[in-house]
A and B are shown apart, each in its own frame.
Chain A
Amino acid sequence: AQSVTQLDSHVSVSEGTPVLLRCNYSSSYSPSLFWYVQHPNKGLQLLLKYTSAATLVKGINGFEAEFKKSETSFHLTKPSAHMSDAAEYFCVVSPIGTASKLTFGTGTRLQVTL
């Protein structure tokens, strides 16, 4: 069994300040972990993925996430927010090595203000 908990449903930051979106996971298996972003009325875009290689994963648009097994966390960060980062962000888990579904968190809505 696997699950994902996104600890904040809404996060608001000022443009130019750091972004932190929190995610904790639970998995019976060694997990693959992903962050997806969804802009309003759009599809999902993969930001980054962890698949048991380096624990610090760099993604697109300046985002990165660190896999911490001891804390079962996979938090998403960005040093400096941009207005275009305003969107819904989903943390996603899936077991490594099996053909299976992705399990989504409930999402965090990021608001970026001037």
Chain B
Amino acid sequence: NAGVMQNPRHLVRRRGQEARLRCSPMKGHSHVYWYRQLPEEGLKFMVYLQKENIIDESGMPKERFSAEFPKEGPSILRIQQVVRGDSAAYFCASSAEGTRNYGYTFGSGTRLTVV
């Protein structure tokens, strides 16, 4: 079991470009969660998805950010027209069940740097 796989590990984008972050959940997990960690801060929830559905996007900025988890393939977090303030570590977690919180398995993160 390869665990939660995120790629790329590091991503550098110029201001105004698009960033696409990928997350493949653990085998058998159908729930995916995205978190953002700004420098020297804790993790902030962004969005919770199941296959083909967004369950909770209360932590997502209203503009430029979107997420999907298609029937086939990884979950994608997409940031359009990136700005310097988007520079952060983005973590993905997955779980087998969304209705009881027995913990999540986190990926190693994607570190986005906007220059």
A residues with CB within 8 A of B:
32, 34, 36, 41-46, 49, 51, 90, 94-107
Contacts and interface: CB of A to CB of B under 8 A. Distances in A.
A81 to B, nearest CB: 22
Contacts, number: 67
Given A34-B103, A43-B108, A44-B91, A100 B42 contact: no
Given A97-B99, A101-B33, A106-B42, 15 more contacts: A36-B106, A43-B4, A43-B106, A43-B109, A46-B104, A94-B101, A99-B48, A100-B101, A101-B45, A101-B48, A101-B58, A102-B33, A102-B35, A102-B45, A102-B101
B108 A49 contact: no
Contact of B107 (A43, A100, A102): A43
B101 A95 contact: yes
B109 A100 contact: no
A103 B35 CA distance: 10
Chain B contact patch, size range = 20 to 34
B45 A103 contact: yes
